[in-house]
């Protein structure tokens, strides 16, 4: 009798266990299958997304059509953020002399040289992917009178890590043709 009672209990237990555990097994199976599903292919990154980031100046080619600039080992940094703001700084001469009598005591000549060998501005930006342009809407600039001006740049992306900007302005703030543009600034992404 003990044997049949245990046999009977043994046969009932799996049925009871199977009845309550079926939803659990189904849930676990769905979770496992869900973890092995193929992800949808990522949408191609938009040009605007590829430009976002921080870039360091690699080279400057040609001559500025707007003003005479004598580059000598220039260094620089440009950043485009997701909120639509940008900032650029370029030391036209990589080696810039400090003021002889200290930070606050520069002579007129030292201040003029410091001003002439550095440019910086910030503002918002817009990208026109079809025209391959990026427009810097200047909020403020170290050169007086540039507030509110738009600097239009043709751009070329070279892979994910190079950005070439080609100013489109001439000396009267008109536009030159892209085929005639020889002034190019090449930037490399900072990781």
What's the CATH code of the domain at 119? Answer: 2.40.128.280
Q: Looking at residue 40, what is its pLDDT?
A: 54
Total of domains in the chain: 2
Name the pLDDT band for 96 (thresholds 50, 70, 90).
Answer: confident
Cα separation, 90 vs 80, whole angstroms: 15
Determine, yes or no, domain membership for 42: no
Cα separation, 154 vs 166, whole angstroms: 5
Determine, yes or no, domain membership for 64: yes
Q: Are residues 60 and 91 in the same domain?
A: yes
Cα separation, 120 vs 75, whole angstroms: 12
Q: Are residues 105 and 55 in the same domain?
A: yes
**pLDDT tens, 137-186?**
999 999 888 899 999 999 999 998 999 999 987 766 678 788 888 889 99
Q: Are residues 90 and 150 in the same domain?
A: yes
Q: Are residues 89 and 171 in the same domain?
A: yes
Q: Looking at residue 139, what is its pLDDT?
A: 98
Indicate the range of 32-46, 97-111, 165-179 predicted with least confidence: 32-46
Determine, yes or no, domain membership for 182: yes
Q: Which domain holds residue 17?
A: 1-37
The better pLDDT of the pair 14, 62 is held by 62
DSSP 175: B
The residues that bridge with 97 in the sheet, in sequence order, are none
Q: Are residues 33 and 52 in the same domain?
A: no
The better pLDDT of the pair 26, 99 is held by 99
Q: Are residues 58 and 28 in the same domain?
A: no
Across all residues in the chain, what is the average pLDDT? 81
């Amino acid at each position: 009798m003990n044997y049949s009672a245990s046999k009977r209990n043994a046969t009932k237990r799996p049925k009871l266990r199977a009845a309550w555990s079926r939803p659990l097994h189904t849930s676990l199976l769905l979770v496992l299958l869900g973890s092995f599903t193929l992800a949808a292919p990522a949408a191609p990154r938009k040009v605007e997304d590829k430009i976002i980031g921080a870039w360091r100046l690699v080279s400057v080619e040609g001559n500025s059509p707007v003003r005479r600039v004598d580059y000598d080992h220039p260094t620089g940094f440009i950043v485009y953020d997701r909120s639509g703001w940008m900032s650029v700084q370029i030391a036209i001469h990589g080696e810039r002399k400090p003021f002889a009598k200290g930070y606050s005591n520069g002579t007129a000549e030292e201040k003029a040289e410091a001003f002439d060998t550095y440019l910086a501005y910030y503002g918002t930006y817009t990208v026109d992917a079809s025209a391959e342009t990026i427009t810097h809407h200047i909020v403020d600039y170290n050169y007086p009178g540039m507030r509110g001006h738009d600097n239009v740049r043709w751009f070329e992306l070279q892979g994910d890590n190079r950005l070439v900007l080609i100013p489109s302005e001439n000396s009267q703030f008109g536009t030159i043709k892209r085929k005639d543009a020889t002034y190019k600034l090449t930037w490399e992404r900072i990781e």
